[in-house]
Amino acid sequence: MPAIGFEHHDHAHCVRSTLSKAEAHCADTGLRLTPVRRRALEILLAEHRALGAYDLLEVLASEGLGTQPPVAYRALDFLVKAGFAHKIEALNAYIACAHLGADHTPAFLICRGCNSVAETDTSPAQGRLGDAARAAGFVIERTVVEAEGLCPDCQKDAA
């Protein structure tokens, strides 16, 4: 599973295809992809960048889809629980899932230059973290793996 986010790609296609997968998943499982939720996912998908809840709210508000914080947080909760989006803990911000449908443990590469975020995959339970957890008798339920640094473009700019 490659990192998705920095390389150039057919973005329109990746947006459409993710939306289709989300719709199909909801149809299968009975989840309700309501107008606000669907639009929130579209907004996140529009960029490979993490958006704050209030950034999202601003866009929703400009479209008449709600003006108060709970609107954004409810939509984000839904998307995160459904696996359509992830929260980036280091930024207190949210990003659309780039590997929708794949069973994965997400990990993120966060560029401090341009704020773009690439999603990749990891298996922390199989590495040193998992070893430490087993040694301590700790049962892992969820992992947060995020790396901050510079993407290729921003390295060029810095040089």
Binding site residues, a second copy, CB under 8 A: 2-3, 5-7, 89-90, 92, 107, 109, 111-112, 118, 120-124, 127-129, 132-133, 135-152, 155
Instruction: Decide if residue 124 touches DNA (CB under 7 A).
Output: no
CB of 54 to DNA, least distance (A): 4
Residue-wise burial string across 36-59, b where 16 or more C-beta atoms lie within 10 A, e elsewhere: bbbbbbebbbebbbbbebebbbeb
Rounded Cα–Cα distance for residues 116 and 102 (Å)? 22
CA dihedral 48, 110, 149, 13 (to 10 degrees): -30
Instruction: Decide if residue 54 touches DNA (CB under 7 A).
Output: yes
| Between 103 and 141, CB nearer to a second copy | 141
**Considering CB distances under 5 to 8 angstroms, the limit depending on partner class, which of DNA, a second copy, none binds residue 128?**
a second copy
**Considering CB distances under 5 to 8 angstroms, the limit depending on partner class, which of a second copy, DNA, none binds residue 144?**
a second copy
Task: Give, in order, the Cα–Cα distances in Å from 37 to each of 34, 97, 111, 142, 157.
Answer: 5, 14, 27, 24, 37
Give the residues lining the site for DNA (CB under 7 A): 31-32, 34-37, 52-55, 65-71, 73-75, 77-78, 87, 92-93
